[in-house]
Amino acid sequence: MPSTPAPPLRCPLCGGELMVHRPTDEGSRPRLVCGAGHSFDAARQGYYNLLVGKGTVFEADTADMVAARFNFLDAGHYRPLADAVSQAVLALVQPGQPFTVLDSGTGTGHYLRAVLDDVSRVAGDVTAVALDISKFALRRAARLNPEAINLVCDVWQPLPVADAAADVVTVIFAPRNAGEFARVLRADGRLVVVTPRAGHLASLAAEAGMLAIEDHKDARLAESLAGFFVPESARDVDVRLRLTPGEMADLAFMGPAGHHLDRDALAVKLEAKEPVSGVEALFRITVFRPAEGAA
Ligand SMILES: C[S@@+](CC[C@H](N)C(=O)[O-])C[C@H]1O[C@@H](n2cnc3c(N)ncnc32)[C@H](O)[C@@H]1O
Ligand SMILES: [Zn+2]
């Protein structure tokens, strides 16, 4: 049975190196196996579930929220952000050299797709690892990014990734475990973080009962990474959206507000309003380098 050491994964049970076993017989699925015999089968959709023990208590995105996110992103509304994230990562690639990217909280894998399309044209061998705690999200991500290793795991637990394995970690509107990101990044690696800025989707938030984005997010971001990372550069991306009421409902529903909103009731409410023109999405992409002696 052929097995390969890449990508640089480690067993969530014993910390040993995980290898990908790809059975040659038709119908058998690949699996991840460590030297101690712990084994994780690929799900039918191609992702691996490496969640062991009790995950952090959290409210997982529902299948409907994930579908809303997929539809909204797939329609291309946030394309300028995907392009900008991709450019930020591309700037870190050495042409022809191997490149490993970890997308933490990958969701439906939308931004990783954009990154891989661009990076694979420039880098040598590209290795991609994507993780998320939601298997609904990873089902989509595994379909969109079959060349990535898609892992269900909890970012607040030790990550199932080897030390100094990644050239870049991307974190797009997802939780940040600074210590673990520092551990899995190479000393010359970079952390690329996307956050919303104050005023993000403000006019829609007012209509739809979403939480407004507070000011001082920047200070909070730097604080959450302090001791492990220092900001190196930042770029703002503003997108003026033109949306149908259904798209606005998807946009409201795909975020944290989706846990307490009824998407269909929201679509009806938004339908009755004047079209909310000029909903503005305001993002910041910040690139961090590891602090001296952090990992
Ligand atoms: C707002 S979504 C962003 C998804 C994707 N990066 C995007 O921008 O489309 C946040 C993601 O973080 C994931 N997430 C939340 N808590 C997590 C945890 N403890 N471990 C891993 N992923 C988590 C959620 O399942 C969700 O897919
Ligand atoms: Zn093991």
pLDDT tens-digit map of 164-198: 999 999 999 999 999 999 999 999 999 999 999 99
CB neighbour list of residue 39: distance below 8 Å, 6 or more residues apart: 31, 32, 33
| Separation CA 10–CA 164 (nearest Å) | 12
Higher local confidence (pLDDT), 59 or 246? 246
What is the per-residue pLDDT for 23? 84
Span from the CA of 7 to the centroid of ligand 2 (angstroms):
16
Q: Is the pLDDT of residue 210 over 80?
A: no
**Index of the ligand 1 atom closest to the CA of residue 73:** 9
Q: Is the pLDDT of residue 41 over 50?
A: yes
Which residue's entry shows tokens 């991307």?
170
Phi, psi (deg, nearest 5) at residue 89 = -75, -40
What is the per-residue pLDDT for 267? 78
Q: Is the pLDDT of residue 2 over 60?
A: no
Q: Is the pLDDT of residue 26 over 80?
A: no
Closest by Cα among 2, 288, 48, 7 to 162: 7
What is the per-residue pLDDT for 263? 80
Higher local confidence (pLDDT), 56 or 85? 85
**Index of the ligand 1 atom closest to the CA of residue 254:** 1
What is the per-residue pLDDT for 87? 98
Least confident of 12-21, 27-36, 87-96, 259-268: 259-268
Q: What is the average pLDDT across 94-108?
A: 97
**52, exposed or middle or buried, with CB in 10 Å at 0-12, 13-18, 19+?**
middle
Task: Name the DSSP letter for residue 107.
Answer: T
**Protein residue closest via CA to atom 8 of ligand 1:** 172
Residue 134: strand, helix, or coil: coil
Span from the CA of 246 to the centroid of ligand 1 (angstroms):
23
Q: Is the pLDDT of residue 101 over 70?
A: yes
Q: Is the pLDDT of residue 141 over 90?
A: yes
**Protein residue closest via CA to atom 1 of ligand 1:** 173
Span from the CA of 33 to the centroid of ligand 2 (angstroms):
7
Predicted confidence band at 1 (pLDDT cuts at 50, 70, 90)? very low
Q: How many other CB atoms are there within 10 angstroms of residue 44's CB atom?
A: 9
**292, exposed or middle or buried, with CB in 10 Å at 0-12, 13-18, 19+?**
exposed
- β 279-290/185-196 pair status: antiparallel
Point out the ligand nearest to the CA of residue 13.
2
| Separation CA 256–CA 92 (nearest Å) | 31
> In the structure, which protein residues have their CB atom closer than 6 angstroms to any atom of ligand 1?
56, 58, 61, 69, 105-108, 110-111, 132-134, 137, 154-156, 172-175
Q: Spell out the domain ranges in the chain.
A: 1-42, 47-290
Given ligand 1 and candidates 54, 61, 72, which is best to mutate, with the most ligand atoms within 8 Å of its CB?
61
Q: Is the pLDDT of residue 151 over 60?
A: yes
What is the per-residue pLDDT for 257? 80
Q: Which CATH class is domain 47-290?
A: alpha beta
Amino acid (one-letter) located at 168: V
**10, exposed or middle or buried, with CB in 10 Å at 0-12, 13-18, 19+?**
buried
**Index of the ligand 1 atom closest to the CA of residue 103:** 6
Point out the ligand nearest to the CA of residue 194.
1
The dihedral built from the CA positions of residue 258, 261, 263 and 266, taken in this order, carries a sign that is: negative
Of these ranges, 19-33, 74-88, 218-232, the one predicted with the greatest mean pLDDT is: 74-88
| Separation CA 218–CA 145 (nearest Å) | 31
Closest by Cα among 18, 88, 77 to 232: 88
